[in-house]
Structure 1
């Protein structure tokens, strides 16, 4: 039986689109809902273009979680994927999806994680710290930013001449390759 996935995203939605397309090809699950906390997030346009139900919820809705939880139930969501989602997930939603909500972070946690550490801020910090490697961390979501149990990490080199954009491209390539596969593995354990 196919599982229903919801994606929470705050930005342009490249990871969300990649995940939607991956599961459309595979047929092993369906991304049937995209939710955002930013009214002008481009992820809404991507979702509409791919004919996936989507909605924006204001900050107050994300603080209480009730309206969001209601929509997740209406769509029979089995699994929640955070893809560039920058708000804290309310406890009532976390408790409704124990071990069924994951996030991706563009560094090797616990390094360069926590509130305010996302996107280019992470890559900039990695380069400034002189790190020799970076990568992605896929982890379960809990009450604290980037502190849930790690599911997997994939590494890549940080080259001495790397610009922020070059490192970001390398990290994005890892995200696009591994995030959908890990979601699929979690939904369909062998």
Structure 2
């Protein structure tokens, strides 16, 4: 398996998977990371880890079709066969979706299908869970399809929503499950 990543910020899931590869816990080779954010810390650590890196954004490619083609070009050029979204805050273009169909995964900080869809990302998800009064939350790794957060679920981790939880405590509990959950889901694709 040749792994590539799309990240907008720190890329914690990508970092966890690269570390698992380096420790021999995942039989895969990390090959590339693309970010839409030139200041993304993920670009720096991925470069240090020996991955091909690229900053590709709508500022460089105002036409979404051109951006989609550029991203696909980098990923294919690096030899990637599996693509992992690691906090990537943009929709995936149709060329990338088609090329990596069935091999494109994302992690979402809730138990999908609850608290998913357009506009549901980051702290908004945890706020929605707390406002709904749900007894549990968690994280979901799913295959990416054209619909936002609608692809088939590969794995979920559940955590309780405790009395007195706030955004910070719930978010920390969910994030603590995400790295190993993503590792388990990517292993299932191998």
* TM-score, normalization by structure 1: 0.92
Q: Is the 8 A contact 1:37 1:62 kept in 2?
A: no
Cα shift at 1:51? 2.6
- For 1:40-189, list aligned pairs within 5 A: 40-59=39-58, 60=61, 63-64=64-65, 65-187=68-190
RMSD: 1.4
Q: Is the 8 A contact 2:31 2:79 kept in 1?
A: no
Q: Is the 8 A contact 2:37 2:57 kept in 1?
A: yes
Q: Is the 8 A contact 2:54 2:74 kept in 1?
A: no
Q: Is the 8 A contact 2:141 2:181 kept in 1?
A: no
- The partner residue of 2:21 within 17, 23, 34 is 23
Can you list the C-alpha shifts for 1:59-91, whole angstroms capped at 9, x where unaligned?
237822111111111111110001111101001
> d(CA) in 1 for partners of 2:185 and 2:55?
26
In the alignment, structure 1 segments of 5+ residues that lack a partner are: none
Match of 1:12 in 2: 10
- The runs of at least 4 aligned residues of structure 1 exceeding 6 Å deviation read none
> d(CA) in 1 for partners of 2:182 and 2:109?
11
**Residue correspondences, number:** 185
Can you list the C-alpha shifts for 1:127-171, whole angstroms capped at 9, x where unaligned?
111111001111110111101111122211000111211111111
> d(CA) in 2 for partners of 1:180 and 1:144?
23
* TM-score, normalization by structure 2: 0.92
